[in-house]
Amino acid sequence: MGSLSSEPRFRTIQKFQPNYTPHTVTQYESQRTGMRVVVVDQQSTKLHGFFVLATEIHDDSGAPHTLEHLLFMGSKSYKYKGFLDKLATRAYSNTNAWTATDHTAYTLDTAGWDGFAQILPVYLEHVILPTLTDAACLTEVHHIDGDGNDAGVVYSEMQGVQNTASELMELCTKRLLYPEGVGFRYETGGMMEQLRVLTADRIRDFHREMYQPKNMCVALFGEINHEQLLHILDEFESSILPDIPSPDKPFSRPWIESKQAPRLEKSIVQKVEFPEEDESFGQIEIRFLGPNCADNIAASALNVVLLYLAGSSAALLDNVLVETEQVASGVYYQIDSRPKIEIGFSLTSVETGRLTAVEKRFFEVLNDAMSKDLDMGFMQDCIDRQVRIYKFSAESSLTSFADYIIADYLFGKRDGSTLQELATLEAYTETLSSWTQEQWKDFIKTYISDAPHISILGVPSRRLSEKLKADEAARIEKQKEHLGADGLKRKFDELETAKAENDRAIPSEVLGKFKVPSTESIHFPHTSSARAGSALKIGKPQNRYQEIVDSDGKNLPLFVDFEHITSNFARVNLIISTETLPLELRPLLSIYFEAFFALPIKRGSETISFEQVVVELERDTVGYIIESAANLGNVECLRITFQVEIERYQTAIKWIKELLWSSVFDVERLKAVNSRLLADVPDDKRDGSNMLTAVHLMVHLAPKSIGRARSILVKALYLRRIKQLLKTEPQKVVQQFENLRKSLCRYENFRVLVIADLEKLKEPASSWTSFLDGLDTSKPLTPLSGRLERLSEAGKHPGKLAYVVPMATIDSSFANAIARGPTSHSDPRVPALMVAMAYFNAVEGPLWVAVRGTGLAYGTNMSYDIDSGFIHLDVYRSPDAYKAFDASRTIVKGHLDGSIQFNPLMLEGAISSIVVSFANEQSTVASAAGASFVRSIMENLPDDYMEAMLKKVREIKVEDVRESLRSLVFDMFTPGKADILVTCATGLKDVSMLSSRHGMTANDCRR
Ligand SMILES: [Zn+2]
C-alpha cells in the first residue's frame, strides 16, 4: 500500500448514522484538490465504488458520452486497451459506466476490500489521466470504414437510439423545457451529425476542463478500510498533480454557478412523429419543472404526491385512465433531480387518433380531483409506504443511498448540510404527516395540475420510417461518391492503422505485476436455518433458532423452512408445485399471474373491490409478487412472495390465504387483464432476443412446462382465444380459472420459505395454523419436479433441428446453439466447465476479442444450465450471426487443438470471476439466505458446497479445460449434437448458411 507514514490530506466533513439503518455515512474532502469522498459502511460481501463527475456541456457533440467509452482505452501508466478490465477480472471486480445529462459515472464493484484497494489507484488514473489517443477516438467514437459507411462504437450506439420514439420525444421535451445555454437542453450522448464532426481535441479539452479531482465525487459502499482508502487517495493525488490544471485555478461549479432554467411561462402541446410501421398506437410524455431537489421537504412531498397520483392501480390517474376508461395501457412517472426537479409522466399505448383527447383528459382528471376533497387517509398511506420502502431498501440494497449522494454532490450544499438530511426520515414522519389538505392541494396545484407544462404527443409514422431509411441511404451514397476509390482506401488504411495501435498486446509482466488478491477479505455471510412440519423430514438443524421454532408449533404439518437473518422485515415465500396441474389449464397461468393481486375478494358476506384490495396491499406490505420460483431453485414451480415489516408477518400469511382462495374471477376484470396482456404481445414479438427465447422454449420444452405455457408464442395464441371466449361464454372461462385454483391450491403442493429475524418474529410456525384451516393435510407432498422432467424430445436429444425466424422488426440477427450438458451440480465435469466458460466469456477475453472486438456482434456468450441440462452459445445482435458463430467456433477449436495457447494470467482471471459469481449470489444477507435455502432444500447440496466447489475450481489445469472443450463445450459447434435457432432481419441471407453448414435444412417457424 506504499508508505503509510505521512498523514493523508483529507478532512472529515461529517460522520453520522441514519436512525433507520445500521450503516454509517462519512464525508471527506481533499484539502489539496477538493475531491470529495462519501463512504457508506455496511456489512457485505461486495463493495461498490461510484466515481462521479459533474459534466456540463452546451452542445450535442456527445463529448461527455465519448469519454465514458474512451477512459477504458488506457491511462498514462497503463497505455493498453483492455488493461483495466483484465485487471478487474483478476481482482474480483467488474467495471461499468453511464452518461446522464448532468453527470458521468464510472462504477467498480468488487468482492472484498483487498481486490478493491488493489485496483482503485489504477481505476482512478484511467479516470483522471486517460490516454485519449487519436486512434482510440477513431475506433471508439466515429470513423468512416473502407466501404464508406459511418461507424464507431459510440456512433453505432447512438445510431441505434437516435430515431426511437422515446429519444425523439425526450429531445423535444428538453428543447421546449430549457433555453439555449442551459445544459439540460442538450443530448450528452451525442447526435449522429455532430459525432461525425467531433474532433479528438474537443474531447481532450472537455476532459481536461471537467475531469479534475475538484469536480469528482467518490462514493463507496461496503466494508471499507478508511485509513487505507485515504492513503491510497492521497498517494494518487500526489501522482497526478503535475498533469492536471492547478487546483487553485478558478473553476465554476457546474449546474450551480451556471445559467439556471427559468420557470415555464406557458404550456405547450406538441406532436412528434416517430418511425413505426404499425401506426395504430402512440404515446404521451408530459413534463413539469418542480421544486429544488436540495429542498428536502419539497422533494419528499413530491415523492408522496406521485405515489398518490400514479403509484398503483388504485391511484387516481392509473385507476381512471388505465383501469376504468382504458385509454392507455399504463401511466408511469419519473423524476430527475435538478435545481428544478423535472417531473415526467408517460402514458403508453394510446390510440393514435385519441392522443390529443387523452392528453386533455389527463388534466381534466387532475383538476377534477383538485376541486374535490383529497383522500387524506390514502395520502397518509402513501407517506407511510414511502418510509417503509426507504427503510427496506436501505436494509436490502447496498447502494440504496447512491442516487441521493450523486444528486447531493451535483446540486446540494458543499457544507454537508444537505447530505445530512439522510440521517432521518422526519421529513415524512413528522413534517409531511402533519400537512393539511390545503397544503397538499397547494403543492399539487403549484407543481403539477395548474403548472405550465410541456406535452409531447408521439405519433407513429410509416412515412417517416421510410424517409429516414431513404435519406440515410442517399447520404451514404453521396459520401462514397465524394470520397472516391482513393478516399475509401485512405479511410480503410487509417482505420487499420488505428486498430493496430489500439490492439497492442499487454506485456504479461505489466499485468502479472498485480498478484491475484487473496480471498480472505471476502466475507461470505452465514445464515442459520430452522425447520417446521414436514420440512423436518430433511433433517433437523441443531441451533438456537430451531429451538425457537420447536417451542412454537410442534404439530404443524405444513412444510416450512426458516432462514434467520438480522432484519426488520420478513420475506414470506409460498412455493407451489405445478406437477398435477392439468395440461389444458397451464396456458391460463399468464392471466392468473397478472390478475392475482388485482381481483375483487370475498371477505365474509362482503365483496371487496379490486381497488380496495390494492389499497390494502400497498398499506400492509413493502412488496408482493407472483412468478415462477426460478430464483428459489425451481423454474417450474410458482412462488408467491410478500415482503412485510416483521410485525406484519401474520398479515402476510392472511393475505396469501385470501388471494389464493377468496379472489373472485370477475369477468370484467379478466377482460381488462387479458386485453392488457394482449396489447403487450406485439411489442414482445418485435424483439429479436425475446423471440429467440420464445422459440427455444417452444422447441425444447414439453407442453407440461410452465415456462413454455407462459411464453410469448403460447400467449399470442391463447390470449386471443380467451378474449373470444370471454365474449361468448364468459362462465366457461370463469370455470376454468376455478379449476385452476382447485388444482393448484392444495396442501400437498405447498412449501414455505420464511426469511426473517427469528429472535423477533412472533409465532414463526403456529402463525400458519389458520392458513391450513379446511385443508386436507393427509396427503404426502407432491414432488416439485424440475425442468429436466419437462423437456421435449428435441430438448432431450438436440442435434436434429435448426430454426430461422425472419423478422421485419429487427435489422440484425441473434443466434443460439444448444447442446446437452451436466444435469447435476455434483457432475464431475462441472468445475472444468465453469472454468472453461469463465475463460471464454471474460471481458476482453477470447470470445470478446474474436466477436465483439471485430464488430461481428454486440456480444457472444456461453452458458450452462443445470436445471434443464443445456449448454448454450448465444450470439447477441449481430450483422451476421453466421460469421459470429463461426468466429466463436474457430476460437474454441484453436484452444482445443493447441494451435492457440491458453494465457495463464487469464486463467487466473477466470477463477477470480467464478469467486465473484459466488459473491454476487450472496451480496446481501437476504440473498445469501435465499441461496442457502436453494442449496440445502431445493438442490440437496451439502452445506460446504461452495467452499468445496471453489477448491475444485482452483485445482483445474489447462489440460482439464482443454478436455472440457473437447468432450463437452465443442458439442455446441458440432452437427448432430446441437440445435441452432436464429432470429434475423428479413433478407439477411447469410444466416441460413448457419443451418446448412450444420448439415440441416432450416425450418421457418414464422407465425
Ligand atoms: Zn455508450
Separation of 84 CA from ligand 1 center, angstroms?
Answer: 17
Separation of 511 CA from ligand 1 center, angstroms?
Answer: 26
Cα separation of 779 and 580, whole Å? 13
DSSP type of residue 843? T
Separation of 988 CA from ligand 1 center, angstroms?
Answer: 26
pLDDT surpasses 70 at 291: yes
Look at the alpha carbons of 909, 914, 915, 917 in this order and tell me if their dihedral is positive or negative: positive
Cα separation of 637 and 790, whole Å? 12
Binned at pLDDT 50, 70 and 90, residue 998 comes out as very low
Write the pLDDT tens digit of every residue in 894-949: 999 999 999 999 999 999 999 999 999 888 889 999 999 999 999 989 888 988 99
Separation of 205 CA from ligand 1 center, angstroms?
Answer: 20
Write the pLDDT tens digit of every residue in 781-829: 999 989 999 999 999 999 999 999 988 778 789 999 999 999 999 999 9
Look at the alpha carbons of 506, 508, 510, 511 in this order and tell me if their dihedral is positive or negative: positive
The helix (H) or strand (E) run that includes residue 269 is strand 268-275
Residue linked to cell 482508502: 229
Separation of 261 CA from ligand 1 center, angstroms?
Answer: 27
Binned at pLDDT 50, 70 and 90, residue 18 comes out as very high
Separation of 847 CA from ligand 1 center, angstroms?
Answer: 20
Query: If you average pLDDT over residues 403-429, what whole number do you get?
Result: 97
Separation of 401 CA from ligand 1 center, angstroms?
Answer: 24
Phi and psi of 54, rounded to 5°? -80, 105
Separation of 236 CA from ligand 1 center, angstroms?
Answer: 27
What 3 state SS string does 977-991 have? Answer: CCEEEEEEECCCHHH
The residue ranking higher by pLDDT, 673 or 1002, is: 673
Separation of 622 CA from ligand 1 center, angstroms?
Answer: 34
Binned at pLDDT 50, 70 and 90, residue 991 comes out as low
Q: What percent of the chain has pLDDT above 70?
A: 97
Phi and psi of 562, rounded to 5°? -110, 140
Instruction: Give residue 518's pLDDT.
Output: 87
Separation of 407 CA from ligand 1 center, angstroms?
Answer: 21
3-state SS assignment for residue 652: helix
Separation of 108 CA from ligand 1 center, angstroms?
Answer: 17
Instruction: Provide the H-helix boundaries in 751-867.
Output: 793-796, 830-841, 846-847
Separation of 453 CA from ligand 1 center, angstroms?
Answer: 30
Query: If you average pLDDT over residues 45-67, what whole number do you get?
Result: 97
pLDDT surpasses 70 at 5: no
Separation of 854 CA from ligand 1 center, angstroms?
Answer: 17
Separation of 188 CA from ligand 1 center, angstroms?
Answer: 10
Phi and psi of 775, rounded to 5°? -100, 145
Number of neighbouring beta carbons within 10 Å of residue 231 = 21
Instruction: Give residue 120's pLDDT.
Output: 98
Please answer whether residues 349 and 428 qualify as being in contact, where contact means their C-beta atoms are separated by less than 8 angstroms: no
Instruction: Give residue 97's pLDDT.
Output: 96
DSSP E strands: which ranges in 302-380? 330-336, 342-351
Separation of 167 CA from ligand 1 center, angstroms?
Answer: 14
Instruction: Give residue 3's pLDDT.
Output: 47
Separation of 56 CA from ligand 1 center, angstroms?
Answer: 17
Residues near ligand 1 ion, CB 5 Å cutoff: 157
Separation of 101 CA from ligand 1 center, angstroms?
Answer: 13
DSSP type of residue 791? B
Separation of 434 CA from ligand 1 center, angstroms?
Answer: 45
| Average confidence score pLDDT of the chain | 93
Separation of 100 CA from ligand 1 center, angstroms?
Answer: 11
Write the pLDDT tens digit of every residue in 522-554: 988 888 999 999 999 999 999 999 999 999 977
DSSP E strands: which ranges in 870-939? 870-878
Separation of 693 CA from ligand 1 center, angstroms?
Answer: 26
Write the pLDDT tens digit of every residue in 303-343: 999 999 999 988 999 999 998 898 998 899 999 999 999 99
Separation of 64 CA from ligand 1 center, angstroms?
Answer: 10
Separation of 189 CA from ligand 1 center, angstroms?
Answer: 7
Residue in 72, 260, 261, 104 with CA at minimum distance from that of residue 190: 104
Instruction: Give residue 994's pLDDT.
Output: 54
Look at the alpha carbons of 820, 824, 825, 831 in this order and tell me if their dihedral is positive or negative: negative
Query: If you average pLDDT over residues 670-698, what whole number do you get?
Result: 88
Separation of 68 CA from ligand 1 center, angstroms?
Answer: 7
Separation of 808 CA from ligand 1 center, angstroms?
Answer: 26
Residue in 184, 246, 259 with CA at minimum distance from that of residue 214: 246
Binned at pLDDT 50, 70 and 90, residue 988 comes out as low
928's grid cell: 445469501
Instruction: Give residue 844's pLDDT.
Output: 87
Residue in 875, 870, 869 with CA at minimum distance from that of residue 887: 875
Cα separation of 984 and 879, whole Å? 9
Separation of 69 CA from ligand 1 center, angstroms?
Answer: 6
Separation of 506 CA from ligand 1 center, angstroms?
Answer: 24
> How many whole angstroms from its chain centre is CA 56?
27
Binned at pLDDT 50, 70 and 90, residue 993 comes out as low
pLDDT surpasses 70 at 996: no
Binned at pLDDT 50, 70 and 90, residue 1000 comes out as very low
Characterize the bridge pairing of strands 979-985 and 802-807: parallel
Instruction: Give residue 8's pLDDT.
Output: 87
Separation of 95 CA from ligand 1 center, angstroms?
Answer: 14
Separation of 76 CA from ligand 1 center, angstroms?
Answer: 22
Of 196-210, 285-299, 683-697, 828-842, minimum mean pLDDT range: 683-697
In angstroms, the first-to-last Cα distance of the chain is 62
Q: What percent of the chain has pLDDT above 90?
A: 85
Instruction: Give residue 309's pLDDT.
Output: 98
Separation of 151 CA from ligand 1 center, angstroms?
Answer: 14
pLDDT surpasses 70 at 754: yes
Residue linked to cell 438480522: 566
Write the pLDDT tens digit of every residue in 117-168: 999 999 999 999 999 999 999 999 999 999 999 988 899 888 878 888 899 9
Separation of 58 CA from ligand 1 center, angstroms?
Answer: 19
Cα separation of 63 and 249, whole Å? 23
Phi and psi of 31, rounded to 5°? -80, -15
Instruction: Give residue 17's pLDDT.
Output: 96
Please answer whether residues 786 and 867 qualify as being in contact, where contact means their C-beta atoms are separated by less than 8 angstroms: yes
Separation of 157 CA from ligand 1 center, angstroms?
Answer: 6
Separation of 158 CA from ligand 1 center, angstroms?
Answer: 8
Separation of 24 CA from ligand 1 center, angstroms?
Answer: 34
DSSP type of residue 423? G
| Non-local CB neighbours of 436 within 8 Å, separated by 6+ positions | none
Separation of 503 CA from ligand 1 center, angstroms?
Answer: 20
Contacts 24+ apart (CB under 8 A), 899-906: 900/846, 902/839, 902/958, 902/961, 902/962, 903/508, 904/958, 905/86, 905/90, 905/508, 905/511, 905/512, 906/86, 906/89, 906/839, 906/842, 906/845
Separation of 397 CA from ligand 1 center, angstroms?
Answer: 26
Separation of 965 CA from ligand 1 center, angstroms?
Answer: 34
Separation of 476 CA from ligand 1 center, angstroms?
Answer: 23
Please answer whether residues 576 and 744 qualify as being in contact, where contact means their C-beta atoms are separated by less than 8 angstroms: yes
Residue linked to cell 420460483: 629
Phi-psi region of 149 (alpha: psi -120 to 50; beta: other; left: phi over 0): beta
Separation of 153 CA from ligand 1 center, angstroms?
Answer: 8
Instruction: Give residue 989's pLDDT.
Output: 52
Instruction: Give residue 987's pLDDT.
Output: 67
Separation of 828 CA from ligand 1 center, angstroms?
Answer: 41
Instruction: Give residue 1003's pLDDT.
Output: 39
Separation of 877 CA from ligand 1 center, angstroms?
Answer: 16
Separation of 75 CA from ligand 1 center, angstroms?
Answer: 19
3-state SS assignment for residue 563: strand
Separation of 94 CA from ligand 1 center, angstroms?
Answer: 17
562's grid cell: 426458516
Separation of 864 CA from ligand 1 center, angstroms?
Answer: 29
